Amino acid sequence: MKISALRLFNVKRFASRGVAIEGIGDGVNVLCAANEFGKSTSFEALHALFFQPHSGTPGDVQRLRPYSGGNPLVEADITTDGGSFRITKQYYGGRSARVLDLGSGRLVAQADEAENFISSLIRGGTSGPAGLLWVRQGITGIEKRSRIEEEGEKQVRQSLLESVQGEVEAVTGGRRMADIMAAAKEALSDMVTATGRPKAGGRYAAAIEQRDRLAADEARLAAEVTRLRQALDQRANAAARLVELDSPAEREARRAAIQTAQSRFDAAKAQNEKLKTAEAELKLVSERRNAAERELKAFTEALGKAALLQSSLSSAEINRAEAIKRRREASDAIEKARENVDLAEAEEQELRERLIRFDAATKAHEAHKRLADVKQRLAEAEKLRQSIEEGEAQLALLQIPTKSIEELQACEVEIAKLRAIDEAARPSVSIHYEADTAETVTLDGKPLADGEDRTYDGHARLEVAGIGTIILRSNRPSRSDNQLVQAEAARTALLASMGVNSLSAARDRQARAQQADSDLRGSRDRLSFVAPEGLAKLREEVEAGNTTSLEGIDLDEDPALLRTALAQAEERRKQARLALREVEPDQSRADDAFVAAETRLASLISDQAQLAAILGPEEARSERAHTLSGTLTDLDKSLSEAEARVLELGTDAGDLASIEATLTRARSIEAAVDKEINALRETMAGLNAEIRAQSEEAVEEKWRETSEALTAANARMAAHEKEVAVLQRVTTALENARSEARELYLKPVMAELGPLLRLLFDDVSITFDDKTLLPQTILRNGQEEDVDRLSGGMREQLSVLTRLAFARLLARDGRPAPVILDDALVYSDDDRIEKMFDALHRQSRDQQIIVFSCRQRAFQKLGGNVLQMKDWQP
Amino acid sequence: MFRFIHSSDLHLGKRFGNFEGDLPSRLREARHHVITQLAAHAREQSATTVLLAGDTFDTETPAPHVRRQAFAEMAHDPEIRWVILPGNHDSLQSSQLWTTLKAEAPENVVLAVEPRPIELASGVVLLPAPCTTRRPGRDLTEWMDGQASPDGTLRIGLAHGAIRSFSEEGAASEVIPPDRARRAGLDYLALGDWHGTVSVDPRTQYCGTPEPDRFKHDAPGTALLVTMAGSSSIPDIQALPTATFVWRSLDLHLLEGDAPEPALSSLLPASRERRNSLIRVVASGHTRLAARADLVAAVERAAPDFAFLELDQDGLATECELEDLDQIDRGGALREAANALLAESTDERRPLSEREIARAALMRLYSYTQAVTS
């Protein structure tokens, strides 16, 4: 089918108006118009003509009606294999549908028959293959649309592919495949979740749960059984041991062992008592014998000592007598020496006193002689001091500081200098009289001589006789004489401070002061010579001389003689002292010797008394010695007898400790056995209770039961695992097969789309969605992207290309249909649009394509047959 | 002449935790019922003695109701004397059990808890070898050699444990010599422990359990009736049926093209017996996808008839032909999936587990397609 003209009247904005688009040809036709020019209206009217029955007023039809109301009329001229026809439809008032054969001009069909005619052209309305070839503004075919519309288009695509590639059912397994897949998935979903985990509440999870529960139970019961078996073993061991311990033979053996040990122990104990008595006796005898031996020995020794002592005693007495004699001699010698010393000392003392007296007399005489000289010096010194004091007073009056004089001099110079400067700066006037001029000019009343240079201050009056008075004005500010006045004030102050009236007077006074100072210095030197230690000292000396008297001074003795005698007396005294020191020690030595002799004698006498006590009276001594030795002999005999007895008893006694140990051991065995028997009975009682409790609970049976159940559960779980694996394998196999089948199924459209894609994009491939039969993902630069995420431009391009591919497919199937694009390329850039134009032209060789667009400039390049809208009146 | 019944391994109180529903309690009840059966046989055969060669109780600490009810049943007929020997499951190690049993035992129950002769009748002496512990670690029958008895006395040995290397408890060091009867001059050695009936020699017998408890032995539960004409003559031994339940492993060998269901039906017991049957069908051979699915379905259909019925198809190889795949689909995605699974299941480079899964997945796909089609 091809469309050659479209006319519409009273449609939307064309209220009571009509437009016509004539001359639509083969290939690409372009209607470019600005927005609101009726372009989309034309598209919608065309769409309604083909797809909306004239009798109905659904939404699409209502939208065709202008606001002012009226009856929309749409007409199109078409060409099919059967010829050229004009289809006309009017909606609302006067609704009608008509088909006119343009060749013959005859009415082919009206009303419902006309609708049937149109339906046969498009084969099944919007769900027919032609429906998909309409690409509307903004609808790229990939965006969300109403489900019905979506489904309808899908059906279209599907039916088209089926017509080309064969029944889709046959290729993809169809309903059977879906049913089987659903059955497998349902079976699988009973057991596992989508991610392959056991599904909670499912059979598989239940099997796992049961297995885990049984495993836990089994472990718990196994432990209990182990415990039970241990208890059984322990009880058996305990019972065996008890039987062994508690047997009568064993008991008798233990009792007999204790009895034997006891009797042996008793016997040994008795023997031991006897031994102890004998040992005590032995000890007693032994002590007695030792005492006798000691006594005898002491007696014999005392005898010997007594003899020795006698001779010592007599020699000691001789020693004592000698010591006494020596002591007396020493005492005499000392007395004599002491007398000598006293004598010598007295002599020396007398001589010394005489010498002292002589020295004192000599000194007093000399002092008297020196007094006159001192008095003379004192008089001179006092006079000198007076003159010094006068000189100092005079000097104080005359003295002027040298610095003040220098300052005064500087002051004078400054004043002179200032005066000279002042004089030099003053204005002056002088007159040189003519020779014959007699008259004299006066300045301020004083005549001015010829050539005299007179200065003045401020102004001056020149009186010239015969002429008048001439006023001279210096016109300079009256000079300040501050400096000069200050200098003169300073000079006056200096002079006053010095007490002079001029510089020369000051200098004169300075010279006189220097003279006075020099005199003063001479007097001082003299005073220090006359009284080197000061006046006070001199006065003291005079005072001392006055008090000294020369009474009683004897200067008769010869001092040399006196001194010699004194030296001799001292020598004698020293000698006497030495002699005394030599004899003094003799005294103490003699005393010591005497004490020693006395001590020794006393000691010997006490020894003698002691011995006498031991020995007793002399006459009984030999008899006593005999008795003592006899006693010792007797005791020796008794001792050896006692020793023999102890030895004998000891041999018989045996090792009491070992025998007692044997007894203790025998008894402890009995005690231990009793204790063990009791312990065993207790243990068994405890074990009995435990075992009874366990066996009443039938733990062992439960364990075996659980263990068997666990084995079964494991098998069941393995079966379930296998079942899951099998079902997963089935599902995977089916899915793979179906997806491969779909690829095969989509092959024709892919074959058409491929070249178109390559026109626009480099290296891009597309996968189709199984369900919608539309592009789902595109692969470019090795990356897969969802079509939904592509740019608007690319999506609309893909949409158009897909439709072109399907249209081509349709054409090949012998059912060519026009492709109508209403502003389908709004997002595409110029470059791409040109490529799209190429694609359109490529497809248009055996295809009618009608393009509506508002992008006049861009679509100029599309070329093709340019359509115009013209006014039209039906 | 002396006549007695030889039985062992009653395992009273065993709980069968590996089954579900009421089957464990039925199996347990059947074990208790064995006592009644043995007593009935004894009366019928005019044997006055029943020798139980160990493992009368399943544990060393049986629940009170287990032993009390057992004794009550034994005491029912005072004419029959029961001799109970401790086995490895109820050894003397559990001294309390035997103390309690001694206290509770009725007059006609003899506990052979000591290795010393017991006179069963005049001229008949029993030499028991009670298990002292779970694993005694020595041959307990050795003492029988040295135990003399007057000439002409019938000597009967009673023991529990392994001869050779077979034992219910795995490896055992305490092995009874197979020629113990000859060595000890026994006229008969009654053995327990092995749950199947084994004749070691004419005078040495394992009677097996009277009520089987596992698939291992594949023989009906019996007790032995032993008749001894006199010393030196070979004892006459007769097996008596005692079991309530039948435990069977049935080999189902299939060839390609065999219809599995008739083959299975021919193996399975009659309907009435099924209630007390525990059956494991061990399938082997080769089968096609359809036949295999049929077999699984047949077993599933039959299962409710039985106390227990399971199919072990590990040994069954599946052959997959083009027509089998055609039944899944002649083309399209389903067929592609089936092809992929078949390829994977026969790909020798893949690990066995993966191939196994792929094979099972193919089976599953097949059964799904059949279910959807039908």
Q: Is B15 within 8 Å of A702 when comparing Cβ atoms?
A: yes
Residue B24 sits at the chain A interface (C-beta within 8 Å) = yes
Cβ under 8 Å to A: B residues 323-352: 329, 331-338, 340-341
Fold of A2-154+815-871: Rossmann fold (3.40.50)
pLDDT on residue B158: 92
DSSP calls for A590-611: HHHHHHHHHHHHHHHHHHHHHH
Q: Is B369 within 8 Å of A695 when comparing Cβ atoms?
A: no
Q: Is A701 within 8 Å of B95 when comparing Cβ atoms?
A: no
User: Over the stretch B237-295, which tens digit does the pLDDT of each residue have?
Assistant: 999 999 899 998 888 888 877 788 888 888 888 888 899 999 999 988 888 878 888 88
Q: Which whole-number Å values give the CA distances from A435 to A204, A430, A439, in the listed order?
A: 169, 15, 11
**8 Å CB contact between B48 and B86:** no
Average pLDDT, chain B: 85
Instruction: Answer whether residue B171 shows pLDDT above 80.
Output: no
Question: Can you tell me the ipTM of this complex?
Answer: 0.74
The alpha carbon of residue A729 is apart from the nearest alpha carbon of chain B, in Å, by 6
Instruction: Answer whether residue B165 shows pLDDT above 70.
Output: no
Write out chain B residues lying below 8 Å of A707, CB-based: 17
**8 Å CB contact between B58 and B8:** no
Instruction: Answer whether residue B309 shows pLDDT above 60.
Output: yes
**8 Å CB contact between A17 and A854:** no
Residue B64 sits at the chain A interface (C-beta within 8 Å) = yes
Residue B130 sits at the chain A interface (C-beta within 8 Å) = no
Model confidence band, residue B82 (pLDDT cutoffs 50, 70, 90): very high
Q: Is A700 within 8 Å of B337 when comparing Cβ atoms?
A: no
Write out chain B residues lying below 8 Å of A184, CB-based: 364, 368
The alpha carbon of residue B107 is apart from the nearest alpha carbon of chain A, in Å, by 24
**8 Å CB contact between B305 and B265:** no
**8 Å CB contact between A456 and A428:** yes
**Tokens linked to A166:** 């064969």
Q: Is A741 within 8 Å of B369 when comparing Cβ atoms?
A: no
Out of B61, B337, B340, the one facing A699 most closely (by C-beta) is B61
Model confidence band, residue B164 (pLDDT cutoffs 50, 70, 90): low
Instruction: Answer whether residue B166 shows pLDDT above 70.
Output: no
Q: Is B368 within 8 Å of A183 when comparing Cβ atoms?
A: yes
The alpha carbon of residue B119 is apart from the nearest alpha carbon of chain A, in Å, by 26
**Tokens linked to B15:** 């709980």
Q: Is A712 within 8 Å of B95 when comparing Cβ atoms?
A: no
Rounded-to-integer distance, Cα A607 and Cα A588, Å: 29
pLDDT on residue A742: 72
Residue whose C-alpha is closest to residue A46's, from A806, A874, A822, A807: A822
Question: Which secondary structure element, helix H or strand E, spans residue B198, and what is its range?
Answer: strand B198-201
Mean pLDDT across the stretch B155-177?
72
Q: Is B62 within 8 Å of A695 when comparing Cβ atoms?
A: yes
**Tokens linked to A346:** 């007295």
Residue among B65, B364, B366, B370 with most chain A CBs within 10 A, to mutate: B364
User: Over the stretch B202-214, which tens digit does the pLDDT of each residue have?
Assistant: 888 998 899 998 8
The alpha carbon of residue A236 is apart from the nearest alpha carbon of chain B, in Å, by 6
E-assigned strand segments in A671-828: 764-768, 775-780, 783-786, 819-822
pLDDT on residue B40: 92
Series of mean pLDDT values for 10-residue runs along chain A (874 residues):
85 83 82 73 79 76 80 86 85 84 83 79 50 48 50 59 54 72 83 81 84 90 86 83 84 87 86 85 88 86 83 85 85 85 87 81 74 80 85 81 82 83 76 75 80 77 81 69 80 82 80 82 82 80 70 66 86 87 83 86 85 78 83 87 83 76 87 88 84 77 86 87 88 83 74 77 73 71 75 75 75 72 70 77 76 73 77 80
Instruction: Answer whether residue B97 shows pLDDT above 80.
Output: yes
Report the sign of the C-alpha dihedral through residues B360, B366, B368, B370, in that order: negative
For chain B, domains (ranges, CATH) are 2-241 (3.60.21.10), 246-373 (no CATH)
pLDDT on residue B371: 76
Cα atoms in the 13 Å half-sphere on the side-chain side of B215: 15
pLDDT on residue A174: 66
In the block, tokens 């000061």 appear at: A534
Q: At what angle do helices A147-165 and A699-745 cross, to 10 degrees?
A: 70
Q: Which whole-number Å values give the CA distances from B258 to B287, B328, B364, in the listed order?
A: 8, 21, 21
- A 10 A CB-CB count for A401 gives 11
Report the sign of the C-alpha dihedral through residues A730, A734, A737, A743, in that order: negative
Taking one residue from A and the other from B, the number of pairs with CB-CB distance under 8 angstroms is 157
**Tokens linked to B59:** 């544990």
Q: Is A733 within 8 Å of B13 when comparing Cβ atoms?
A: no
**8 Å CB contact between A462 and A429:** yes
Q: Is A730 within 8 Å of B361 when comparing Cβ atoms?
A: yes
Cα atoms in the 13 Å half-sphere on the side-chain side of B147: 22
pLDDT on residue A140: 42
Q: Which whole-number Å values give the CA distances from A447 to A110, A312, A443, A452, A473, in the listed order?
A: 165, 166, 6, 10, 18
Question: Which secondary structure element, helix H or strand E, spans residue A660, and what is its range?
Answer: helix A656-696
Spell out the domain ranges in chain A.
2-154+815-871, 402-508
Q: Is A184 within 8 Å of B96 when comparing Cβ atoms?
A: no
The residue of chain A nearest to residue B365, with distances taken between CA atoms, is: A730
pLDDT on residue A144: 45
Write out chain B residues lying below 8 Å of A729, CB-based: 341, 357-358, 360-361
Q: Is B63 within 8 Å of A173 when comparing Cβ atoms?
A: no
Q: Is B334 within 8 Å of A737 when comparing Cβ atoms?
A: yes
DSSP calls for B54-67: S-SBSSSS--HHHH
